[in-house]
Amino acid sequence: MFSARSLFQEIVDNDAAYRLFCSIAARGETQGGWENGRIAALLPESHRDLAPKVARHGADEDKHGRIFRALLRRRGLTPVEVPEATDYTMLLERRGTGLAHNKLRREEPLGERDIIAYLAHSRVTEQRAAEQMLLLRKHFGDHPEVGRAVRMICHDEENHLAYCHEELLRLARAGHGRAIQRTLRQCALAEIAVHRDVSLAVMARMGRILGWSRSRSTLIRAGIMAFYGYERLFGWRRMVSLAMPARRNALGGPAATAPEFA
Ligand SMILES: [Fe+2]
Ligand SMILES: [Fe+2]
């Protein structure tokens, strides 16, 4: 049948599937890096203290993009163009979560609401990233080809999530609690729908590349829809809670480098 482990094993074992997987991941990471870089540059005077952490967040995501491209290179592969239906960050932006790219391209400083929108969007998407990387680390943390990359990215995504909790709690204490809760809820509901759509689109392509039977494809689609049903009913709540993390100031200091990758 299928499990996350067997699914990912199939992808790693097939050049075309691996190429698509790493290309999609690299694109999302690089996009996240760009967004964070722009946000760091546009923070208003009143929030300049956040700037080094946002910049570090961006530097980490850029590094993840380079790591995924390095994984491709090591196998002698080049990135493929990422189909629109699998472009998670773009689809989220279209749903109005986070900050619009138009806004980020301008030179106007961000307002308080923008900062809440950025942190809430990050709180939700970093939870997804951290959970996915934890799952990968559980099964592939010792894999000779991808293990090191998976462990490094997993560690970073957990830091990003901790940072979002800490900064949102700081803003909540400053009186923005209601706006934060409202924004988090909107982001979470949009994200679970985008995650479902992207999962369906990625798995449809993987199914074609890997020659899955119709029943296997149907089973995987049903699994994605069932998971969405769970997230729509209950699961989204895990993405909107705020708790002071054990790891404080997780993004204080410069990004760890990854010279073996890039
Ligand atoms: Fe990342
Ligand atoms: Fe991240």
Query: In this model, does residue 27 exceed pLDDT 90?
Result: yes
CA of 61, nearest ligand number: 1
Distance (angstroms) between ligand 1 centre and the Cα of 97 equals 18
Distance (angstroms) between ligand 1 centre and the Cα of 51 equals 18
Residues lining ion ligand 1 (Cβ < 5 A) are 29, 61, 64
CA nearest 255: which of 156, 177, 187, 128?
156
pLDDT of residue 262: 61
User: pLDDT, tens digit, for every residue of 127-180?
Assistant: 999 999 999 999 999 999 999 999 999 999 999 999 999 999 999 999 999 999
Distance (angstroms) between ligand 2 centre and the Cα of 127 equals 9
pLDDT of residue 3: 85
CA nearest 145: which of 27, 8, 6?
8
Could you tell me the pTM of the whole model?
Answer: 0.95
Share of the chain above pLDDT 90, in %: 94
Mean predicted confidence (pLDDT) in 62-79: 97
> Where residue 191 falls among pLDDT bands split at 50, 70, 90?
very high
Distance (angstroms) between ligand 1 centre and the Cα of 26 equals 9
> Where residue 260 falls among pLDDT bands split at 50, 70, 90?
confident
User: pLDDT, tens digit, for every residue of 104-121?
Assistant: 999 999 999 999 999 999
Distance (angstroms) between ligand 1 centre and the Cα of 215 equals 33
Residue 145 CA, distance from chain mean position: 22
Helix (H) or strand (E) holding 202: helix 177-210
Three-state secondary-structure class, residue 142? coil
For the chain, the average pLDDT equals 95
CA of 123, nearest ligand number: 2
Distance (angstroms) between ligand 2 centre and the Cα of 35 equals 12
